[in-house]
Structure 1
Amino acid sequence: MCTRQTYYGRGPIQLSWNYNYAQCGQSLGLDLLRQPETVSSNPTIAFRTALWFWVNNVRPVLNQGFGATIRAINGDLECNGKSPDKVNARIRYYRDYCGQLGVDPGPNLSC
């Protein structure tokens, strides 16, 4: 019997889409394409996938501003006018947290 796998967001940084599960699994030496549920059932693997996603997708764009991190994480779903309410909410939260920490949010806040 063949079961259909689902590749919805799992883990501390929501690992989504089959291509991310495949690339992450290959990098970590795991078969996440065939066993995506491992990300939600094993806390160690969940955090390993989060770190993999951060290092490979988010860290390279940190110097481009907060908007680039939105694009790296949710670009196809939220950027380019696809979900301005979500983007604006993220920017509000980010500005609020920066204010609480006493740091400048910097330029390029929107994707």
Structure 2
Amino acid sequence: MVLLEINSIGFDGLGNPGIVATDVLISFKTALWFWMNNVHSVLDQGFGATIRAINGAVECNGGNTPAVNARVGYYKDYCSHLGVSPGDNLTS
């Protein structure tokens, strides 16, 4: 299944994973593929859910509380500058 999804964005990620770091178009396609397949579906669950979808156990559930708190702080600051509410569920 992963091979099918990788092929759907038009490059051989298993055969040449370094291309993501050197090809701007492949990098963008990869980021968009990841977002649509892992993050997009949790957007209505709050900022904390996006942190979990992107970083998982590396940061969440006590994995790296200072990093989560820093992300939330940056997010709240950006929201303040834009004049929008950060919403609920900022950390879980």
Return the TM-score normalized by structure 1: 0.76
Residue 94 (structure 1) shift: 0.3
Aligned residue pairs, count:
91
Equivalent in the alignment of 1:75 = 56
Are 1:58 and 2:47 matched, yes or no?
no
Task: Give percent identity, aligned residues only.
Answer: 56
TM-superposed CA distance for 1:78, in Å, is 0.4
- 1:45 pairs with 2:15: no
CA distance in 2, matches of 1:63, 1:100: 21
Is the Cα–Cα contact under 8 Å of residues 58 and 72 in structure 1 kept in the other structure? yes
1:86 equivalent in alignment to 2:67: yes
User: Any runs of at least 4 consecutive aligned residues in structure 1 with deviations exceeding 6 A, and if so which?
Assistant: none
Q: Which has the higher helix share?
A: 2
The Cα shift of 1:30 comes to: 1.9
> Which AA in structure 2 matches 1:67?
G
Unaligned runs of 5+ in 2: none
1:107–1:23 Cα change, 3 Å: farther
Counterpart in the other structure of 2:90: 109
Q: SS of the residue aligned with 1:29?
A: coil
> Over aligned residues, Cα RMSD in angstroms?
1.5
Q: Does 1:100 find its partner at 2:81?
A: yes
Q: Taking structure 2 as the reference length, what is the TM-score of the superposition? A: 0.91
